[in-house]
Structure 1
Amino acid sequence: MLTKFRPLMATAAKARAPPAVTASKAAAAAVELEEHVHYKHTDACHQLRWTAKESYEYMYARPWSRVVDFYAELVRAGAGAAGLAKLFGNDEKDYTLYTAGENYLTPSEKPTTTTFSKGRGGRWERVTFKVVISYHGGSFDGWQKQPGLNTVQGLVEKHLGQFVDERKAKQLEARSLPIEGCAIVAGRTDKGVTALQQVCSFYTWRKDVKSGDIKGAINEAAPDKLKPLHVSEVSREFHPNFAAKWRRYMYIFPLDEDADLILGEAQSSKTLENSEHNIKPQSFDVSKVDEILKPLAGKTLSYKMFARDTQASRSVGPPTECFMFHSRAAVAKLHSANEDHKGGMVVMCVELVANRFLRKMVRVLVATAIREAAAGAGADALLNLMEATDRRATAPPAPPEGLCLVDVGYEDFDKQRCFIVD
Structure 2
Amino acid sequence: MLAKFRPLMATSPKTKAAPAVAFSTAAERDGYAQYNHTDACQHLRWTSRESYEYMYARPWSRVVDFYATLVHTGAGTAGLAELFGKDQKDHASATNGEEPLTSSEKQMPVKSSKGRGGRWERANFKIVLSYHGGSFDGWQKQPGLNTIQGLVEKHLGQFVDERKAKQLQDRSLPVEGCATVAGRTDKGVTALQQVCSFYTWRKDVQPSDIKDTINEAAPDKINSLVVSEVSREFHPNFSAKWRRYLYIFPLDDDAKSISGDEQSSIMLKNPEYNIASRSFDVAKVDKILRQLEGKMLSYKMFARDTQASRSAGPATECFMFHSRAAVTKLYSADENCKEGMTVMCVELVANRFLRKMVRVLVSTTVREAAAGADEDVLLNLMEATCRRATAPPAPAEGLCLVDVGYEEFNEQRCFIVD
TM class, shorter-length: 0.7 to 0.9
For 1:199 and 1:166, locate their aligned partners in 2 and report how far apart those are by CA, in whole Å. 26
For 1:102 and 1:375, locate their aligned partners in 2 and report how far apart those are by CA, in whole Å. 46
1:324 aligned residue: 320
**Please, which of 192, 195, 208 is the counterpart of residue 191 of structure 2?**
195
Deviation at 1:314, TM superposition (A): 3.4
2:97 aligned residue: none
Is 1:299 matched up with 2:320? Answer: no
1:102 aligned residue: 107
2:202 aligned residue: 206
Gaps of 5+ in 2: 1-24, 93-100, 257-270
For 2:163 and 2:309, locate their aligned partners in 1 and report how far apart those are by CA, in whole Å. 38
1:353 aligned residue: 349
AA matched with 1:102: Q
1:8 aligned residue: none
**Please, which of 89, 93, 115 is the counterpart of residue 89 of structure 2?**
93
AA matched with 1:103: M
Runs of 4+ in 1 over 2 A off after TM superposition: 28-35, 98-101, 256-260, 275-278, 311-314
Q: Using a 3 Å threshold, how does the CA distance of structure 1 residues 235 and 213 change in structure 2: closer, same or farther?
A: same
What SS class does the counterpart of residue 420 from structure 1 fall into?
A: coil
Could you say what the CA RMSD is over the residues aligned between the two structures, in angstroms?
2.2
2:334 aligned residue: 338
Matching of residues 35-114 of structure 1 within 5 Å: 38-96=34-92, 97-98=101-102, 101-104=106-109, 114=113
1:379 aligned residue: 375
User: TM-score scaled to structure 1, two decimals?
Assistant: 0.84
2:397 aligned residue: 401
**Please, which of 204, 211, 219 is the counterpart of residue 215 of structure 1?**
211
**Please, which of 355, 360, 364 is the counterpart of residue 364 of structure 1?**
360
Per-residue CA distance 1:58-86 (angstroms, 9 max, x = gap): 11110001100010001011011111011
Deviation at 1:214, TM superposition (A): 0.2
1:270 aligned residue: none
For 1:132 and 1:344, locate their aligned partners in 2 and report how far apart those are by CA, in whole Å. 30
Deviation at 1:339, TM superposition (A): 2.3
Gaps of 5+ in 1: 1-27, 261-274
**Please, which of 381, 398, 415 is the counterpart of residue 419 of structure 1?**
415
1:248 aligned residue: 244
For 1:251 and 1:98, locate their aligned partners in 2 and report how far apart those are by CA, in whole Å. 19
AA matched with 2:198: F
User: TM-score scaled to structure 2, two decimals?
Assistant: 0.85
Deviation at 1:311, TM superposition (A): 3.5
Is 1:311 matched up with 2:307? Answer: yes
For 1:190 and 1:46, locate their aligned partners in 2 and report how far apart those are by CA, in whole Å. 32
Aligned residues of 2:255 and 2:279 also touching (Cα < 8 A): no
Deviation at 1:340, TM superposition (A): 2.8
Q: Percent identity?
A: 76
Bigger Rg over Cα: 1
Aligned residues of 1:63 and 1:256 also touching (Cα < 8 A): no
For 2:143 and 2:173, locate their aligned partners in 1 and report how far apart those are by CA, in whole Å. 13
More strand per residue: 2
